[in-house]
Structure 1
Amino acid sequence: MGPLIRLVAVPDGMGPDDDRNNLLRLTVFMQEHMAPRVEELIRRSGEEEAAVDGDGDGWGRIRCVVADYDVGTWALDVARRTGVKSAAVWPASAAVMASLLSVPELIRDKIIDAHGKRKRQMNWSALTQEAFQLSPDMPMMQPAHLAWNCIGNDQGQELLFSCVLAGVRAVDECDYILCNSFRDAEAATFARFPKILPIGPLLTGERPGKPVGHFWLYVAFGSFTVFDRRQFQELALGLELTGRPFLWVVRPDIVHGDAHEYPDGFLDRVVASGNDGGRGKVVAWAPQQRVLAHPAVACFVSHCGWNSIMEGVRNGVPFVAWPYFADQFVNRAYICDIWRVGLPAVADKKSGMVTKEHLAGRVEEVMGDASMRERIEAMMVVAHESVQEGGCSHGNFDMFVESIMS
């Protein structure tokens, strides 16, 4: 039997020096350059029997296109044109996918305006800063936090919104929407939008038992969060003020200007070479799944990215929720308002910063709340059961695999 996975390179149209973190530009280029090549690949599949390891077995015809929604909705259009099944993989919460599928209703109800911006509005297509709710028991959402309102200038936001509309149409016509979530985490959303299938939490590390040891803080803000220097320093001082051991992931570009300016003496006082032997450790990267699975970690100071949330929930770690942009605010609503397994980091109205005193206080509240720990541990059990045989996510994934093989 030959290899089960065949890799095929398809150029995205960007040059070696282009910034692939520019999601808007990357999306446009991929649709323009990759779609025709992938369509050709699908149409040619099965026409020529390619020998594998000399045994004469061919690869056969492509039966299904599985595409990441964020950058691959063009591939769902290709699947429709070529007559093969399609599945959109949605890596964020089901609630955010539901908000995208509801764009026509949001326009109809004048929550957003698909025709342009209104006067005195900072964000393209946002008519109101009033929160809206797609159904009872779903998170409250803000128009300003919708994805296209969070990136670029007016022109870029309008272009991104047009891409979102095209993506919504493609997803609406695909066969499956696979979501890295589990039914009990977002029961109201899955009840209203049954086409979204939970298959998660996808693989994460799992801790063997309850937290033990020194009760470390794990502090990480994902791939995109950027602080100004004042907030970065206040965060550092807040971690020091907790008096607890911590592991802090500090990307090289996490501060505007690409330069870290720790508070005077912070590294000597607190990090590994400090006078007390080092309560804290600062790293540029950490194996997050393994960290959260470690039984000594008892609190996660997080930017509220959905993958991070699922990893924290899967391991029963409560949160201090500090979102940066877009869907992270919806995720904070899940953590703090619906599941009640964490507390928000709230900026001071006068300074606009999350102060060191506030951060240290939030950490202590989370660490000392026994009922919160009971709730997150209960969610951990349900999350684990969902991916075991007989669980909802396990069953959904089996159904999906069987359907594309038939």
Structure 2
Amino acid sequence: MISNSSSKAKAHILVVPYPAQGHVNTLLQLTHELVKQYGIRVTFVNTDFTHNQVMKSWGHNIETIRMVSIPDGLEDGESRNLLGKLTESLNRVVPKKLEMVIREINERESDDKISCVVADGSMGMALLVAEKMGIQRAAVWPASAASLALCFTIPKLLHQGIIDSDGTPREDKTIHLSPNMPTMSTKHFFWAQMGYDDDDLNTQRIILNLMLSNTKALEVTDWVICNSALELEPSSFAFSPKMLPIGPLLASKNNHAGNLAASFWPEDSTCLNWLDQQENNSVIYIVFGSFTIFDLTQLQELALGLELSNKPFLWVIRRYINNGPNQAFLKEFEERLPSHGKIVGWAPQQQVLSHPSIACFLSHCGWNSTIEGVTNGVPFLCWPYFADQFLNETYICDVWKVGLRLNKNNNGIISQMEIRDKIKQVLHDEGFKERALEMKERVINSVKEGGSSNKNLEKFVDWIIKSKN
């Protein structure tokens, strides 16, 4: 293992995440590892909006990291969930502002200049700024290696006519990027699952072009590291040798304490006391990430399905789900189940998933949540909503076999009976728990000294140190 020598403190890197919670969390976990384990100096650049959210909820944990911020180009009060508008604004504003930050640091600290830019793979413009300024650069892909492999394949999909110039699939079919990789449905290509603007097709076109430009930017990087493990995705890493796994980052000895989640919302820690009162391996944990939206009918079916399961549950419901007609229903539902279940606005997820009372994770299957569930050996019930979540569901259900799908009925609703029956099935089939625990052991071993991810991280750190010279 590389020793934490004084020479490492001389390496100064600039880290640039995409302004979304899952992306920020992943790059903060990497940053914490580089600072605590290897003594590397880090300046972490968020957008102003994200910076304010992180500092309110997480500022006490980041004394060793220099946090700075730049504008995202949107006005106060504008929604950052309008991905098309946010993407165009970031592309317009970030490059110039980021170059200014680097120049100011380098002029002020002539003996401690930025020697390397480590940017989120969705922030290709940051990599191009580094190239323009003659600075070494590396990319971090916070999602699965399979999702990045799909991004690399977009030009081929366009050439073969599988998608049109807007990214819309020409037919509903399944494809294999390579024989041993998980199947992918064209209807679930994630750039076609991003529409939050009034003009969904325009948003889709913007996101597709962003992915094309980002993959071109990745070609000018020295490294593309991925928050995954070879044991999780061997075929995907074989598909693109440029990608190297260094994760799961949260499973490392420095990060596994569960205190490195930069939540954008206040966490309700009372749920941990409630979990202490439940039997081991008994609680269903339900959370759907930062974007999922429910109408009243689907919300009612989910609530009633949980009630029918007759199992204790911890349900995370964000503020903007719990409004209007949803609010009245949820208030009545919560009053009816004072001990059977608990509803909170946001939870300390890593601590929840590591709690011995948790039996199952009903999840939207975002990659961070997927990794957190796998690292804690928890079986899944899968409820993907958009983007790469359907691909992650395929891993969970078909490849790793640690969970089950929740299927919609003819009306596009996941019914209360489907929810009840799948909860019963995943809890009564001990094979799910056994496979989840086996997967947990493999991925934790990957980040231990001598493991595949640990070796890659050591090589990456060596490169960072040499970039100073």
- Please tell me the TM-score bracket, short chain as reference: 0.7 to 0.9
Q: What is the SS of the residue equivalent to 1:173?
A: coil
> How is 1:299-310 mapped onto 2 (pairs within 5 angstroms)?
299-310=360-371
Superposed CA offset, 1:160-182 (max 9, x none)? 22222111111122111121111
> How is 1:117-132 mapped onto 2 (pairs within 5 angstroms)?
124-132=167-175
The RMSD of aligned alpha carbons is 2.3
Superposed CA offset, 1:277-328 (max 9, x none)? x110011111010000001101011111110010000010000111111210
Paired residues of 1:301 and 1:322 also in contact (CA < 8 A): yes
Aligned amino acid, residue 396 of structure 1: N
Superposed CA offset, 1:62-84 (max 9, x none)? 121111223x2110111121222
Question: Among residues 67, 76, 92, which one is paired with 2:119 in the alignment?
Answer: 67
Question: Among residues 293, 310, 331, which one is paired with 1:226 in the alignment?
Answer: 293
Paired residues of 1:66 and 1:89 also in contact (CA < 8 A): yes
Indicate whether 1:366 and 2:426 are aligned.
Answer: yes
CA distance change for structure 1 residues 247 and 405 in 2, over 3 Å: closer, same or farther?
same
Point out where structure 2 has 5 or more consecutive residues left out of the alignment.
1-8, 10-40, 42-62, 259-277
Pick the structure with more helix per residue. Answer: 2
Aligned to 1:348: 409
Aligned amino acid, residue 66 of structure 1: V
Q: What is the SS of the residue equivalent to 2:346?
A: coil
Aligned to 2:150: 99
Q: Matches of 1:263 and 1:251 in 2, distance apart?
A: 12
> How is 1:10-49 mapped onto 2 (pairs within 5 angstroms)?
10-43=70-103, 45-46=105-106, 48=107
Identity %: 42
Q: Matches of 2:71 and 2:333 in 1, distance apart?
A: 46
Q: Matches of 1:287 and 1:45 in 2, distance apart?
A: 34
Superposed CA offset, 1:225-253 (max 9, x none)? 11111010000000001101110001122
Superposed CA offset, 1:311-349 (max 9, x none)? 000010000111111210000000000110000000112
Indicate whether 1:144 and 2:187 are aligned.
Answer: yes
Aligned to 1:389: 449
Greater Cα radius of gyration, structure 1 or 2 = 1
| Cα displacement (A) at 1:254 | 2.3
Bigger mean CA deviation after superposition, 296-305 or 143-152: 143-152
CA distance change for structure 1 residues 372 and 259 in 2, over 3 Å: closer, same or farther?
closer
Aligned to 2:398: 337
Give aligned pairs, total: 379
Q: What is the SS of the residue equivalent to 1:166?
A: helix
Paired residues of 1:299 and 1:317 also in contact (CA < 8 A): yes
| Cα displacement (A) at 1:266 | 2.7
Point out where structure 1 has 5 or more consecutive residues left out of the alignment.
51-57, 117-123, 273-277
CA distance change for structure 1 residues 16 and 164 in 2, over 3 Å: closer, same or farther?
same
CA distance change for structure 1 residues 285 and 391 in 2, over 3 Å: closer, same or farther?
same
Q: Matches of 1:309 and 1:146 in 2, distance apart?
A: 18
Q: Matches of 1:15 and 1:101 in 2, distance apart?
A: 33
Aligned to 2:314: 247
- Higher RCO, Cα 8 Å, sep 6+: 2
CA distance change for structure 1 residues 59 and 247 in 2, over 3 Å: closer, same or farther?
farther
Aligned to 2:333: 266
- TM-score of the aligned structures, taking structure 1 as reference length: 0.87
Q: Matches of 1:82 and 1:390 in 2, distance apart?
A: 36
Aligned to 2:302: 235
